[in-house]
């Protein structure tokens, strides 16, 4: 299953609770697209969130994030990791 890293911008001042709530919103519907969001990392000063996921394709990842209320078009397919 392909793996993806996606990036959200503009999340300045977001709290850990808000990150958890956003992640839970993804988890609640991700199965409908065969996606799974494994991890998310937040920098609330720069306003960046990085999400690591698996899924069938970039579009499926984008659809879940959009339906969960935090759309992004910055989704990268991971070919290699170390």
Judged by CB under 8 A, the stretch of 28-36, 38-46, 63-71 that binds a copy of itself is 38-46
Q: How far apart are CA 82 and CA 74, in angstroms?
A: 21
Q: How far apart are CA 81 and CA 15, in angstroms?
A: 29
Q: How far apart are CA 72 and CA 6, in angstroms?
A: 8
Residues in the chain: 82
Q: How far apart are CA 34 and CA 26, in angstroms?
A: 12
Residue whose CB is less far from a copy of itself, 34 or 39: 39
User: Is residue 77 close enough to count as binding a copy of itself by CB under 8 A?
Assistant: yes
User: Is residue 69 close enough to count as binding a copy of itself by CB under 8 A?
Assistant: no
**In the complex, what is the shortest distance from the CB of residue 32 to a copy of itself, in angstroms, rounded to a whole number?**
20
Binding residues for a copy of itself, rule: CB under 8 A, are 3, 5, 7, 15-16, 19-20, 23, 39-46, 48, 50, 52, 76-82
């Amino acid at each position: 299953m392909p793996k993806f890293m996606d990036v959200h911008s503009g999340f300045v001042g977001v709290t850990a609770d808000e990150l958890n709530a956003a992640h839970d919103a993804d988890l609640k519907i991700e199965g409908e697209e065969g996606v799974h969001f494994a991890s998310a990392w937040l920098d609330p000063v720069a306003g960046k969130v990085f999400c690591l996921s698996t899924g069938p394709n970039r579009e499926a990842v984008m659809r879940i994030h959009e339906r969960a209320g935090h759309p992004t078009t910055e989704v990268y397919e991971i070919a290699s990791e170390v």
